[in-house]
Amino acid sequence: MARVKQRRRDQSGRDRMRYLPTYDEETELTRYVLQHHNHLLSPFEEEVALAARAREYLRGATDKPHAGIMAGIARLDDPRIDRALAGGVEAFRIAASRRILNEHADLGVNRCPRCLRVARTPRARQCFWCGHHWHG
């Protein structure tokens, strides 16, 4: 992930430099939806997400603790899980978040009023990206 240097003034008025990851709307929206609205995943999507996490744990692992248990959770022999993850984990995550957003049009995504980027949490009142704050 590329990082961008950003100059900001702190509360005392001094210039501060900070390094931010570059903003990607689809990545941030996917992260926001799956992190804060994961209760809207279908039962099958929950199974796939759990299997994907378990497979990530097992990748390159030979002597990790609980490897046998994780292999069962990873469902390495399930063709439905394999098909869902055929395009990769990130493609699955994007498809799941798009489905949630399409089916739940009333789902509010918290955005910064200045730069319109996705906020980090539904209750955030300060933008991670531009530093703007809109506290009540």
Please state the separation of Cα 59 from the chain's center in Å. Answer: 20
In a domain, 13, yes or no: yes
In a domain, 114, yes or no: yes
Structure tokens given for 125? 């009142």
pLDDT tens string, the chain, 136 residues long: the values are 555 555 566 666 666 666 777 899 999 999 999 999 999 999 999 999 999 998 888 887 667 677 778 888 888 889 999 999 999 999 999 999 999 999 999 999 999 999 999 999 999 999 999 889 998 7
In a domain, 17, yes or no: yes
Question: Among candidates 2, 13, 11, 3, which has minimal Cα distance to 133?
Answer: 11
In a domain, 125, yes or no: yes
Cβ-contact 132, 126 below 8 angstroms: yes
Provide the number of structural domains found in the chain.
Answer: 1
What CA–CA distance (Å, rounded) separates 89 from 103?
21
Cβ-contact 41, 98 below 8 angstroms: no
Please tell me the predicted confidence (pLDDT) of residue 17.
67
pTM for the whole structure: 0.79
In a domain, 83, yes or no: no
Cβ-contact 117, 96 below 8 angstroms: no
Please tell me the predicted confidence (pLDDT) of residue 12.
65
